[in-house]
Amino acid sequence: MSDDQLRLYRYFLRHPGHQTEEAAAAFGLEPAALESALTDLQEKGLLRVSDRHTVLVSDPAVAVEWLVEQELGALKLAGDQVAAARKAIPALAEEHKHGLAETPVGDIERVDGVDAIRERLTELGFFTFRELMALLPNRWQPESIAQARESDLRMLRRGIRWRTVAGPEAAGDPDTLAYLRELVALGAEVRVTDQAIRRMVVWDRTTAMVPVDPDDYLQATLVIRQGGVVANTVAWFEQVWSSGHELPAATADVPAPAPLSPLERRVLDVLARTDKDETAAREMGVSLRTFRRYIADLMQRLGAANRFQAGLMAKEKGWI
């Protein structure tokens, strides 16, 4: 239930028989917002509006129990679907086995074009279960960072060990360095090396990706599953990793972010203390649409992909 729905339901519990107009006047709700909230409450079986706009409210013990039963039914259905999915695994695995026998996937696969390469990177990241290792000799393009952010954050949230060694060019680029520090703040491990390295990524020590042309890694790349080649690639990464040094922390030489306005500080404060946009907007005395615009502006300023990340980055910058 939204805050407006809960407030209305409690209002009619305390004032049985009141009309909808009285509730609108009590809460200052717009007609459209009132109508929407009342419709949702009626669909949930919590109240009924008569032809004369009089509200008849349901007994809370009955109404809430009915809602609980609906939720439990949905959970049981979800559990049954998960159990059915698990039962299907052996049959699907057998089909996969036959498919590989008829059309085996090569140990080395070529992927051409920037869109296909980025799609394959996202796919391999999605199916990573334990570890990612990467060597990053060159700067990341801003569009590459935007493309990789969702996949990288998903892996970190899942507890994947995320390790990258950056070369001098990558570590010296402000955008790349800022993104690497952002990932470190979220649990990634990053080191810097002075030696010459070539771009490569390894997933779960079973699959590696290297560019066909080291100087143009977005033109074509090779996805390698050949055990011996991948093992040698992993050994090379571990050697570079062991000789690298920690990513330097931000220093006073780095330009400080522009100071926050009083409004921006208040938005961050309210965002950190409330769970719902409706509550935050009401506390600030603005509409829900206006509050969400404030959030979008702050996310853009921080370069954050979502509100959770915006909160972490704001804390890192000392804004909250």
pLDDT in tens, 135-177: 999 888 888 888 888 889 989 988 899 999 999 888 888 888 8
Where in the sequence of the chain do the CATH 3.30.870.10 domains occur? Answer: 108-246
Q: Which fold would CATH assign to domain 108-246?
A: Endonuclease; Chain A (3.30.870)
pLDDT of residue 303: 67
With CA atoms as reference, report the closest residue to 243 among 193, 184, 202.
193
Per-residue model confidence as pLDDT tens digits over 7-56: 888 888 888 778 878 877 887 778 788 888 888 888 888 888 877 678 88
Whole-number pLDDT of residue 27: 77
Q: Given this model, what pLDDT does residue 305 score?
A: 64
pLDDT in tens, the chain (320 residues): 787 788 888 888 888 778 878 877 887 778 788 888 888 888 888 888 877 678 888 788 887 888 888 888 888 888 888 888 888 888 887 876 776 566 555 688 899 988 888 888 888 988 888 999 999 998 888 888 888 888 899 899 888 999 999 998 888 888 888 899 989 988 999 999 988 899 999 999 999 999 998 777 778 999 999 889 999 999 999 999 999 998 877 654 444 455 667 787 788 888 777 778 888 888 888 888 888 888 877 777 776 666 666 777 777 666 66
Backbone angles phi, psi at 245, to 5 degrees: -125, 160
Integer Cα distance of 12 and 18 in angstroms? 7
Name the DSSP class of 15. Answer: S
> What stretch(es) of the chain map to CATH 1.10.10.10?
3-58, 262-316
Given a contact cutoff of 8 angstroms between Cβ atoms, the answer to whether 190 and 198 are in contact is no
User: Any bridge partners for residue 131, and if so which?
Assistant: 161
pTM of the predicted model as reported, rounded to 2 decimal places:
0.50
Q: Contact at 8 Å (CB) between 267 and 301?
A: no
- Paired sense of beta strands 47-49 and 131-136, if any: unpaired
Q: What is the rounded CA–CA span in Å between residue 306 and residue 9?
A: 32
* Residue-level pLDDT at 202: 95
Pairing state between β 189-192 and 161-166: parallel
CATH number, domain 262-316: 1.10.10.10
Exposed / middle / buried, residue 33 (Cβ in 10 Å: 0-12, 13-18, 19+): middle
Distance CA 58, CA 62 (A): 7
Unique residue bearing structure tokens 């409004």: 263
**Architecture label for domain 3-58:** Orthogonal Bundle (1.10)
The whole-number pLDDT of residue 253 equals 47
* DSSP three-state, residue 200: strand
**Which amino acid would we find at residue 54?**
T
